[in-house]
Amino acid sequence: MGSSSAAPWKQLLIGSIQANSHLKHYSYFQLATISPNSRPSNRTVVFRGFQDESDRILINTDTRSRKIDDLKHCPFAEICWYFTESWEQFRISGPVDVIDGMNPDPVKLQQREKSWFACSLRSRMQYMAPTPRVSVYEQPSQTQTPSLDPSIGPVGAFCLLVLDPDQVDYLNLKTNERLIFTSGLGVDGEKLWTSQNVNP
């Protein structure tokens, strides 16, 4: 068993992303949450990078989506990311910080704005769409396409999720190798990672 203050799995993940980057689906993974009725809820989301130089994973979402209700009920989630070219799976779990426009922290609001402007205009337009999961018959149809000024900051429906990993389960089906990475706190309060080779 080894230990490190830097996230040892992050370089593995970056290598997998680079090795699979020629595939259209390389940046998509599944995000599982627990709903208020205690049932699992899963969906596919897009990897939006890491927060600054950290190991925290960024995901954009709509404040009106079901995953927001789930995370308010239980703030923990798990990512399942499978790379088809290299036969590698990453299961990454940890608490999720939900950053919407009402967040009181100006630094977090700045990160939300940064993520907004990193999106394509087409992606930003999705947050102008009618409320998700509402019947199309219950909501009046839009007579004109909503317009969006590219220079304006995030709309109210835009939300940034920041997953702070505390455990990573890595499986390589080509080499039949499995590693479990677990985080804890060092004596100075810094996040410390330990890794263990386990049977696949």
Domains in the chain: ranges and CATH: 7-176 (2.30.110.10)
pLDDT single digits (tens) 105-127: 999 999 999 999 999 999 999 99
Q: Can you tell me the mean pLDDT for 92-100?
A: 98
pLDDT at 139 (0 to 100): 61
Length of the chain: 200
User: Interior CA angle at 72 toward 68 and 78, to 5°?
Assistant: 70
What secondary structure letter does DSSP report for 131?
P
What is the pTM for the complete model shown? 0.90
Query: End-to-end CA distance of the chain, in Å?
Result: 16
Dihedral sign for Cα 61, 65, 66, 71, please.
positive
pLDDT at 20 (0 to 100): 97
Q: How far apart are CA 108 and CA 168, in angstroms?
A: 25
What secondary structure letter does DSSP report for 68?
H
Structural tokens at position 99: 């950053």
Q: Can you tell me the mean pLDDT for 98-106?
A: 97
Model confidence band, residue 51 (pLDDT cutoffs 50, 70, 90): very high
pLDDT at 140 (0 to 100): 62
More confident residue, 146 or 89: 89
More confident residue, 93 or 137: 93
Structural tokens at position 18: 């680079």
Q: Can you tell me the mean pLDDT for 6-23?
A: 95
pLDDT at 194 (0 to 100): 96
pLDDT at 3 over 60: no
Model confidence band, residue 5 (pLDDT cutoffs 50, 70, 90): low
Q: Can you tell me the mean pLDDT for 151-173?
A: 96
